[in-house]
Structure 1
Amino acid sequence: MKVNIPKGTRDFGPQEIYKRKYIFNTIKKYFELFGYVPIETPAMENLDTLTGKYGEEGDQLLFKVLNNGDFLKKVSPDILEEKNSPKAVKQLSKRGLKYDLTIPFARYVVMHRNEINIPFKRYQIQPVWRADRPQKGRYQEFYQCDADVIGSSSLQYEAEFVQLFDKVFRDLGISVDIKINNRKLLTALSILINEEENLTSITTAIDKLDKIGESGVVNILKKLKLPDAKITSILKFLSFRNLSDVREFFNDIELGQLGVKELEEIYSFLTNQQLTNTLTFDPTLARGLNYYTGTIFEVAAKNVEMGSIGGGGRYDDLTKVFGGEALGGIGISFGAERIFDVMEELKLFPPKIKSAPVLILTLDPIYQQHGYTILNTLRDEGIKADLYPAGDKMKKQMKYANNINCQFVIIIGEEEFRNQNASLKNMITGEQVTIDRDEIVEKLLKPENH
């Protein structure tokens, strides 16, 4: 039997985990600095919680979980004979793996409304699942790192999220373009060309612009039977790069004017704030998810070919879907898997992130007890350390230390045993010194060694 893992999933070894933790810890640091608190939601949600929230394409990408026990027993024979998958799913499955963290968060808010303070600022770092076609930067199981504010319509949070994106990617060393748009402008566009009933289809087409190009979008719009004049108006809107042109374009459309006003207010919050990365108004940004109602974001890495590595937007009515009050909300997400791939490709991980615990090596089994005493002294002081098993030649032990990327090795031979000291070697610089056993901890705890 050939052992394998499901397509679109990955195994991660120790060094990859260290790097992923570096990303998660950087993001978490700024989430908490900006006042967000952590929650977690189950891997599975009821299907009626998930379906109908992501658009038709999103619903098709939901992973369904078969009911327990004899799941075929309750399925109507007519449906089985008809081979109607959508009908069968309703009887075969009541649960699904969560597609994102936003819908489960909205469900959480409604269920725990009496326990949370409004505005509620939460963050989550958890895996999600999508039955998408695997490709570079796109997986079927991946982590999202989300921050949301619910219960406020203040545009200060849009500005805050721009800064959050900026600071996280600055610290990770990734140069990015933070793109911003407003779904009100896209709705206004559908009003302007009198195609409100086709808003979702038009938005979905625009959202594919970076993948299929202008000609591909035009082909989709023609299939919707849009006249050439309307397609021309859409393309004109997508060509704008400053808000003054957009304001003039929507001169008689109130919703369009409101969308421009909101974007201008966000920019005003950021007037005196220094951003490391670029903030760009992009009318082609559509974000295909149906629940967005206002500002939308997408973050693109520069100097590398990769899809968006962050995104989000404002949603005004999501909690109403679950029977709760209408609590305005906005959230963003960092795409951890793509961030990891970008940092690997651009070699952005710091060298010290490869450092493994301090490893103690002995030249003879009779020194192992001495090494074990040092090992426990280091661990008692909170220093990650390990002791190589006795008996192997020093060459093999040093090779092992190199393979696990140790920053330091402690070598104990006859002289070190007799004098109750040790040789400490820095595996990065090659420097080796002999120090008293009592000084090892002090040496390893020096700031330059962390």
Structure 2
Amino acid sequence: MAQKPSLPKGTRDFGPEQMLKRNYIIDAIKEVFRKYGFMPLETPAMENLSVLTGKYGDEGDQLLFRILNSGDFLSKVSDKDLEGGVKNLTPKIAEKGLKYDLTVPFARYVVMNQHDVTFPFRRYQIQPVWRADRPQKGRYREFYQCDADIVGTDSLVCEAELLAMVQEVYKKFNFDAFSISLSNRKILEGIAEVCEASDEFSRFCVILDKLDKIGQEKVFTELGGIGVSKTGLDKLEQILTIEGDNNSKLTQLQEIINSSEVGTLGINEVNETLNNLSLLGFLTDKVNIDFTLARGLSYYTGMIYEVKPTSIQMGTITAGGRYDNLTGVFGLQGISGVGVSFGIDRIYDTLEELNLFPNSKANYSKVLLVTFDSDSQKHGLKLLGELRSAGIAAEMYPETAKMKKQMGYADKKGIPYVLLIGSEEIAQQQYTLKYMETGNQAMFSLDEVISNLLEEEE
């Protein structure tokens, strides 16, 4: 008995209908990337483990998919290695792993090609990545990342360009119900400083980031637990009550954290970014300053931003920020960059929920040629070539099946027109063109068929 086929857990097939929608998203994003001067890049599915390990923390290292060496991978393994457990054994049997994200391979590429790359280097990359995570709703072991980065410059013009690009991408999807939350690591450092929590900066930010989930009272209790004083909590309460537009928020914050040099620098950076965004001709009211946004602080050193839909319950659909030392782990110091990542799966779910995808059937064949015998099929092949030469997506049913079967095929596949080619049509050089949705049909010459189908596309 044949074995029943199955998929590895945490992976998915994408059928034609899903692929058309995914390609719609990816093509729109690529178009904007190219418009902003970004160049495409691809890196291999696998990297040497020496490139990957130690870059994602202990937890990330646990989630790397390791690839067994080819051939007799146990040939170099001794009994002592086996007794030493996984840590001893792994380097002997696996030298490569599937890539965990696009950032580390990008950093590796920049270092290896530093003399050929033109800095500032603008690259975009859309590829699958793999994580040995526990599969659950919305979390997969194989998924696509879609990143754009500008490296080799500290200029805040880049932050504004990425924020403009975000708005332009979502405009392409006719999706306006989103908000961009904007923060800055330097502002967070300033807040921690005036709250007398600089020594516990990481834990301070992790707790602050829970505000939406557990509320202010529990956040303050946890902060007290790591040693933040009553005076510090009072300062933080002042900051959390700040309201108004972005300018007003920044002005009020400046008054509270005036004594912090790093905090003031962060406020100036946010102001400059918003001014640059305005000069580029994009809305700044889409941007909401959020002092509690504290994502990615293990690598972000400046601006931090994330995008969420406002009309539906959905997590972050785009995020990014500035990092000062992308390539330092590979020995190339001082390469600063800023990047943005679009969550293709969540964007897909958002557009699906809001019914914002265009009609995908427009991407299928426009017309099916229906034939009745070998003579009409041969004639149909000539017509098929003419229709395709005119730029019309066309196909012919490859067998001389009953008309009902051929029409059923067109109907099931969503092909809007059929062209009937029988002996009478061949003799008259006039063909029956039928519109499947209404059943309306009429006789036309081939030139008329082509002009009708092209006109319908406009």
**Residue correspondence of structure 1 range 199-238 to structure 2 within 5 A:** 199-207=201-209, 209-210=211-212, 221=223, 224=226, 237=239
Distance 1:221 1:11, change over 3 A: farther
RMSD, aligned α-carbons: 2.9
Q: Structure 1 residue 305 and structure 2 residue 307: aligned?
A: no
Aligned to 2:427: 418
Counterpart position of 1:377? 386
Where does residue 176 of structure 1 map in the other structure? Answer: 178
Aligned to 1:321: 329
> Quick check: 1:54–1:290 contact (8 Å CA) kept in 2?
no
Secondary structure of residue in 2 paired with 1:308:
coil
Within 1, Cα distance between the matches of 2:234 and 2:67?
45
1:437 and 1:267 mapped to 2: Cα distance?
A: 57
Name 2:167's counterpart in structure 1.
166
Asked whether the 8 Å contact 2:17–2:360 carries over to 1, the reply is no
The AA in structure 2 aligned to 1:159 is A
More deviation in 391-400 or 28-37? 391-400
Q: Distance in 2 between matches of 1:51 and 1:283?
A: 33
Q: Deviations over 1:102-126 (max 9, x none)?
A: 2221221111111111111111111
1:191 aligns to 2:193 (yes or no)? yes
* Separation (CA, whole Å) in 1 of partners of 2:67 and 2:59: 18
Which of 365, 368, 375 does residue 377 from structure 2 map onto? 368
TM-aligned CA distance change 1:420 to 1:232, over 3 Å: farther
- The total of aligned residue pairs comes to 448
- 1:199-233 CA deviation, whole Å, 9 max, x = no partner? 33443444455556657756765675656665665
- Cα deviation for residue 137 of structure 1 reads 3.3
1:335 Cα deviation after fit = 0.9
Contact 1:53 1:290 in 2 (8 A): no
Q: Which residue of 2 aligns with 1:258?
A: 265
Structure 1 pair 54–173 and aligned structure 2 pair: CA distance change class (3 A): farther
**How far apart, CA to CA, are the structure 1 residues paired with 2:426 and 2:216?**
74
- Quote the Cα distance in structure 1 between the aligned partners of 2:45 and 2:315: 25
- The alpha-carbon distance between structure 1 residues 219 and 134, as it changes in their structure 2 partners (threshold 3 A), is farther
2:409 to 388, 400, 405: 400
Of residues 441, 445, 457, the one that matches 1:432 is 441
Give the corresponding residue for 2:246.
Answer: none
* TM-score calculated relative to the size of structure 1: 0.89
2:346 pairs with 1:338: yes
Matches within 5 A, 1:12-27: 12-27=14-29
Contact 2:320 2:339 in 1 (8 A): yes
Task: List structure 1 segments (4+ residues) > 6 angstroms apart after TM superposition.
Answer: none
Distance in 2 separating the partners of 1:427 and 1:57: 56
After TM superposition, the structure 1 stretch with the greater mean CA deviation from structure 2, 74-83 or 323-332, is: 74-83
**Percent same amino acid at aligned positions?**
46
**Is the CA contact (8 Å cut-off) linking 1:137 and 1:306 kept in structure 2?**
no
Find the counterpart in structure 1 of residue 253 from structure 2: 246
TM-fit CA distance, 1:362? 2.4
Q: Unpaired segments of 5 or more residues in structure 1?
A: none
Equivalent residue runs for 1:22-33 within 5 Å: 22-33=24-35
Question: 1:440, 1:349 → 2: CA distance?
Answer: 29
Unaligned runs of 5+ in 2: 244-248
Distance 1:409 1:10, change over 3 A: same
Please, which moves more after superposition, 371-380 or 20-29?
371-380
1:137–1:307 contact (8 Å) kept in structure 2: no
| Counterpart contact for 1:63–1:96, Cα < 8 Å | yes
One-letter code aligned to 1:297: Y
Tell me how far 1:385 sits from its aligned partner. Answer: 1.7
Letter in 2 for 1:108: Y
Aligned equivalent of 1:51: 53
Q: Which amino acid aligns with 1:36?
A: F
TM-score normalized by the length of structure 2: 0.87
Match of 2:298 among 274, 290, 305: 290
Rounded Cα–Cα distance in structure 1 between residues aligned with 2:171 and 2:80: 58
After superposition, residues 49-198 of structure 1 pair within 5 angstroms as: 49-72=51-74, 74=76, 77=79, 80-81=82-83, 83=85, 85-86=86-87, 88-174=89-175, 175-198=177-200
Structure 1 residues 334 and 5: alpha-carbon distance in aligned structure 2, compared to 1, 3 A threshold: same
Q: Which amino acid aligns with 1:347?
A: N
1:155 CA displacement? 0.8
8 A contact 1:375–1:385 mirrored in 2: yes
Q: Given that residues 50 and 98 in structure 1 are in contact (C-alpha distance below 8 angstroms), is that contact kept between their aligned partners in structure 2?
A: yes
